[in-house]
Structure 1
Amino acid sequence: MHADGDGALRVAPLGGLGEIGLNCLIIEYGGHAIAVDCGLMFPDSSMLGVDLVIPDVEYLRQLGDRFLGFVITHGHEDHIGALPYVLRDLAVPVYATPMAAGLITARLREHRLDARVRIETFRPRQRWQMGPFAVDPIHVTHSIVDAVALAITTPIGVVVHSGDFKIDHTPIDGASPDMQTLAEYGSRGVLLFLSDSTNVEVTGTTPSERSVRGGLESVFVEAPGRVFLSTFSSHIHRLQQALDLSAATGRRVVMVGRSLVNSMRIAMDLGYVQAPLSLFAEVAELGSLPANRVTVLTSGSQGEALSALTRIAMNDHAQVRIEPGDAVILSSRRIPGNERTIDNMINHLYRRGAQVFHTRNAPVHVSGHASQDELATMLNLVKPRYFVPVHGEYRHLAHHVRLAHAVGLSSASTFLIENGQVLKIDAAGARADEPIPSGRVFVDGKGIGDVGDVVLRDRRHLSQDGLLLAVLAVDQKSGDLIAGPDFLSRGVFEEADAPRFFDVAREIVVATLNQIAPESRTDSLEVTEEVRKALRRYLGKTLDRRPVVLPFVMEM
């Protein structure tokens, strides 16, 4: 993609266009580049055993010292979560607002990278230069504090990146989005606008964060027992409302869950959370406090297997129990793919005697993303020459293009691109350019990128059809069967039925060996393959199943 000195601006997403999460976008001019965000995505049900998914940043590695660093719009995991993995071999600075910088530092510390990575902290309207790019962060409202849009001035024009946003004129902290600065850029001329597409299918406007208070307050007031509230650990404004309601209803606050405690500690150190220390209690004090005088803030609103709330729901937490009369508030949206785990957790909470409030039965959550009217307002405000929708699945991007047409942008001014595709802009106009390497990298345990499609295919095969292991020993000179075959199966037969199938399988293996030419029986590879084919035919015909068959031939 890089072409030194051709006077062209190039924009290419490495993630986040065609999917929810994995947000990372490259802006390049004169052979130098910056990346906006570097997020992760949680695996779907087809990615068996995978812990996380991160963008493939091989192109950034190829740039070497021409890659100038990451600029972060806010501290959500889908915008910062890949940094601890990609910064292992990318020696570049990270620019972030204070809250995002605190969250990034905590992640890097977990990976023992905090001493190696330079993090530069900025606040809205603190402009700085990165090579040919002048970066101007602009305050926006979102479901996390310190979110910004970016106005990036290049030698051929201004690029505005919205980040994640909604237009909330009554935010909890009183800091409304800086629409004036965005309008000023629009009046001076914006070359390219990249805008969040997450909620483009939602008509109207997204309600203010302040509108959630009524739904939360009714639970805090009416619950006869403790109130458990779970939201995303970085949703400081939602947590602030829970603290305010706890103080108003005479409840002490206990925090449970490492990620939530870490986020609250960072926010309190930065002054973003206002609450007296006397409001808080330790987990060990729960047993001595009246139930109707307790709020428990906990992580785990998505039903994550090891999260605090899931362990509490399963009655498996060492210090916290759900009791009849307790109320549980799931104050967050359901991330696609998590529906089943969330429903399972809710069922277990009801088994413990709790009443559960969530988005389907109570007004306890509002989105942090702009709906159609706000997206149209932003387009009219910024007045871009060219427009590219970002942050969404393909249908979201397509809807956003149609919305741009509806507010007056022409088809020649709007571009729907996906990961790896390049938009080139120069004096001649805007058009597609040669694609760059992109893709997904799977994180599995300590391995990064060592699990690929072939491994996932094998895992799916094992999970769907099971495993049959056949062990036999043959004479390495004559090829005669000396011992076995013995069998071990997982997920193929019921334990009581296995001996009957093994007896037949043993006869089939012996018959197969007898059919192989004597000189070929001394070739363990050929024996292995013939035994595999024979057993697969038998299982396919008898059971209509196709397990993974692994013959193990020992030459003796």
Structure 2
Amino acid sequence: MRESLKNPPRLARDTLRITPLGGHGNIGRNMSSFEINGELLFIDCGVLFPSEEHPGVDLILPGLHLVEDRLDQVRALVLTHGHEDHIGAVPYLLRRRSDIPVLGSRLTLALVREKLREHRIRDVDLRVVAEGDRLTIGEFDLEFLSVNHSIPDGLAVVMRTRGGSVLHTGDFKMDQLPLDGRLTDLRGFARLGEEGLDLFMPDSTNAETPGFTTHERDIQPAMERVFAEAKQKLIVTCFASHVHRVQQVMDAAVRHGRKVVYVGRSMQRNMSVARELGYLHVPENTLIDLKQIENYRDDEVVIISTGSQGEPLSALSRISNHEHPVITAGPGDVVLLASSLIPGNENSVYRVINGLSRNGVTVVHKGNAMVHVSGHASAGELLYCYNLLKPRNVLPVHGEVRHLIANAQLAVATGVPADRALAVEDGAVIDLANGRARLVGQLDCGYIFVDGLTEGEIGDTELTDRKILGEEGFISVVAVVNFHANTLVSGPDIHARGFADDDQVFDDIRPELVQVIEKALADGVEDTFQLQQLVRRTIGRWVNNNFRRRPMILPIVVAS
């Protein structure tokens, strides 16, 4: 899949160039760039949440550095739906150029508006579009089709250009019994097939899953059993944007006489927006504030919480660690994880499940009950779309490498030529012209890390240092020398963190360090840097031989 890095040729006139800036090779930071005749258009701008391989990192952005010097040519940013992996990086893009028009559905832009408010970004150009709308922005003729997903108001984007036509599905599935009655527009897909589609860019998340994705409403019996059998506290966790799931929990709470309380800032914010816009129906006298929870018995309340992916600072993680200021969970309580695992989050989620189980909590999750269905099309649905659309070329989006390859193989099985089913990773450059898509280059689309208020200044060296500190520990060695007298004045003082409980373990190496430093001084060494390197090598070799560890070593030699 990954070609050797090469710069793409100069873009020919009336050729559409597509460059994935994220979402091709991982689940997250979805963003694609489209360029033709000197104009650019972006679809989606999301974040990737860090794994254990990225200690201290808050968010990972798409490859904005690849387009940073050309933002004046961007005609619009189009958003397919309101999930964080599709909209979370919008503030970081608008910080670079605040007047880029942002197009999306009503709910999507409402969530974006709240996000921009948190980042104190104002006076932005947000333009609401809906299914059936068609408009032209510069070189791009855009049409929007409804798609069904695990958040309301999802849109697929049809792009017609001089270089060819493109259908980008965003995240979608083909639930024929959706909770909100909003179907994926298969009639629109069929019309595109009749018209002739040059490039299809479909969601790949479930490309390895056979058959069709289960209906959302099919989880209702399992959820009903959980409510019926819960005799004490009941906590339900789901994605903070999963309006449909929250509605199901809300309705079940009413049937079982329980009040509902939101826990988690993102949950409160998103559900407030969804309620204001009419996407979430909250029956009267159902919702209470967290401060009121102490006025009700445990069996009179259901808590809807964030933390379905085991995020360390989420409400559920804090509850499992006895760190939440209000809510506890113990024997007889029930936690329902109404969500699926995002690849890479398995360890974090199981850590929370184990913590809750250790506390005596009954944990119900997708692994032991039918309490969640995916929001993404499975292989059967993708095959249906390929046969309906008959695309000339395919560029799978949104998935790990295995998902992209599986999706491309489905396309080939329906008749798409193998050399026109392009399973490529972030930074690939694809040119579309005369009905043919070709891979013409590969750019380095590395990660941009966000750590607190720092963006993009954390590199591989810093991450490596953090991993060493977290896994191997830290040793400092301080010595004072007198170069005039060629003597060791004091030290070496050795201290450690995350390596050993007692600094006395270094008693064996201290005499050797003294001998090494004094010998170097006697040999005429008058450079503190040389002495520091000598100390580092000596104690590093001793630690490796005796403990098989490679901690970070900080030697400090001071000349008096």
The TM tier, using the shorter chain, reads over 0.9
> How far did 1:54 drift?
1.1
**1:398-409 to 2 correspondence within 5 Å?**
398-409=405-416
What SS class does the counterpart of residue 198 from structure 2 fall into? strand
> How far did 1:523 drift?
1.1
Task: For 1:38 and 1:163, locate their aligned partners in 2 and report how far apart those are by CA, in whole Å.
Answer: 12
> How far did 1:4 drift?
6.3
Task: For 1:338 and 1:294, locate their aligned partners in 2 and report how far apart those are by CA, in whole Å.
Answer: 29
Q: Which residue of 1 aligns with 2:3?
A: none
Give the counterpart of 2:439 among 422, 432, 443: 432
> How far did 1:228 drift?
1.7
Task: For 1:176 and 1:537, locate their aligned partners in 2 and report how far apart those are by CA, in whole Å.
Answer: 65
Give the counterpart of 1:348 among 345, 350, 355: 355
Q: Which residue of 2 aligns with 1:216?
A: 223
Task: For 1:128 and 1:516, locate their aligned partners in 2 and report how far apart those are by CA, in whole Å.
Answer: 76
Q: Which residue of 2 aligns with 1:97?
A: 105
Is the contact between residue 475 and residue 522 of structure 1 (CA under 8 Å) also seen in structure 2? no
Structure 1 position 109 matched with structure 2 position 117: yes
Distance 1:225 1:491, change over 3 A: closer
User: Match of 2:112, as an amino acid?
Assistant: I
Give the counterpart of 1:334 among 333, 337, 341: 341
Structure 1 position 79 matched with structure 2 position 83: no
Moved more, 218-227 or 24-33: 218-227
> How far did 1:285 drift?
2.8
Q: Which residue of 2 aligns with 1:255?
A: 262
Q: Which residue of 1 aligns with 2:4?
A: none
Q: Which residue of 2 aligns with 1:492?
A: 499
**1:245-284 to 2 correspondence within 5 Å?**
245-284=252-291
Deviations 1:53-94 (A, max 9, x none): 112212221213112232111111111112222322133222
What SS class does the counterpart of residue 24 from structure 2 fall into? coil
What SS class does the counterpart of residue 13 from structure 1 fall into? strand
**1:157-172 to 2 correspondence within 5 Å?**
157-172=164-179
> How far did 1:161 drift?
0.3
**1:356-375 to 2 correspondence within 5 Å?**
356-375=363-382
Is the contact between residue 193 and residue 384 of structure 1 (CA under 8 Å) also seen in structure 2? yes
> How far did 1:2 drift?
8.5
Q: Which residue of 2 aligns with 1:188?
A: 195
Structure 1 position 537 matched with structure 2 position 550: no
Q: Which residue of 2 aligns with 1:32?
A: 39
**1:508-519 to 2 correspondence within 5 Å?**
508-516=512-520, 518=522
Is the contact between residue 15 and residue 162 of structure 2 (CA under 8 Å) also seen in structure 1? no
Q: Which residue of 1 aligns with 2:5?
A: none
Distance 1:232 1:258, change over 3 A: same
TM-score, normalised with respect to structure 2: 0.94
Give the counterpart of 1:244 among 251, 265, 271: 251
Deviations 1:132-178 (A, max 9, x none): 00111110000111111110111232110011100011111111111
Q: Which residue of 2 aligns with 1:150?
A: 157
Is the contact between residue 164 and residue 435 of structure 2 (CA under 8 Å) also seen in structure 1? no
Distance 1:524 1:374, change over 3 A: same
> How far did 1:352 drift?
4.2
What SS class does the counterpart of residue 550 from structure 1 fall into? strand
Q: Which residue of 2 aligns with 1:502?
A: 506
**1:317-328 to 2 correspondence within 5 Å?**
317-322=324-329, 324-328=331-335
Give the counterpart of 1:307 among 314, 324, 327: 314
Deviations 1:308-362 (A, max 9, x none): 1222233332222335433221100122232233223223333444322110111
User: Match of 2:477, as an amino acid?
Assistant: A
Task: For 2:285 and 2:203, locate their aligned partners in 1 and report how far apart those are by CA, in whole Å.
Answer: 40
> How far did 1:386 drift?
0.8
Distance 1:253 1:67, change over 3 A: same
Segments of structure 2 that go 5 or more residues without pairing to the other structure are 1-7
Distance 1:493 1:351, change over 3 A: closer
Q: Which residue of 2 aligns with 1:522?
A: 526
What SS class does the counterpart of residue 399 from structure 2 fall into? coil
Distance 1:29 1:394, change over 3 A: same
- How many pairs does the alignment contain? 552
Task: For 1:414 and 1:272, locate their aligned partners in 2 and report how far apart those are by CA, in whole Å.
Answer: 37
Q: Which residue of 2 aligns with 1:553?
A: 557
Deviations 1:240-288 (A, max 9, x none): 1111111222222112211111111000111001122311122233233
Distance 1:86 1:344, change over 3 A: same
User: Match of 1:543, as an amino acid?
Assistant: F
Is the contact between residue 48 and residue 459 of structure 1 (CA under 8 Å) also seen in structure 2? yes
> How far did 1:219 drift?
1.4
Structure 1 position 22 matched with structure 2 position 26: no
**1:34-73 to 2 correspondence within 5 Å?**
34-73=41-80
TM-score, normalised with respect to structure 1: 0.95
> How far did 1:434 drift?
2.8
> How far did 1:30 drift?
0.7
User: Match of 2:551, as an amino acid?
Assistant: P
Is the contact between residue 311 and residue 317 of structure 1 (CA under 8 Å) also seen in structure 2? yes
> How far did 1:375 drift?
0.5
Structure 1 position 447 matched with structure 2 position 451: no
> How far did 1:186 drift?
1.3
What SS class does the counterpart of residue 384 from structure 1 fall into? coil
Moved more, 376-385 or 165-174: 376-385
Distance 1:116 1:469, change over 3 A: farther
Deviations 1:353-394 (A, max 9, x none): 432211011111000000010001111122211111111111
What SS class does the counterpart of residue 201 from structure 1 fall into? coil
Structure 1 position 390 matched with structure 2 position 407: no
Is the contact between residue 9 and residue 441 of structure 2 (CA under 8 Å) also seen in structure 1? no
Moved more, 365-374 or 538-547: 538-547
Task: For 1:287 and 1:467, locate their aligned partners in 2 and report how far apart those are by CA, in whole Å.
Answer: 45
What SS class does the counterpart of residue 277 from structure 1 fall into? coil
Distance 1:359 1:425, change over 3 A: same
User: Match of 2:520, as an amino acid?
Assistant: I
> How far did 1:427 drift?
2.9
Give the counterpart of 2:302 among 284, 295, 302: 295
Task: For 1:443 and 1:395, locate their aligned partners in 2 and report how far apart those are by CA, in whole Å.
Answer: 27
Distance 1:74 1:482, change over 3 A: same
What SS class does the counterpart of residue 534 from structure 1 fall into? helix
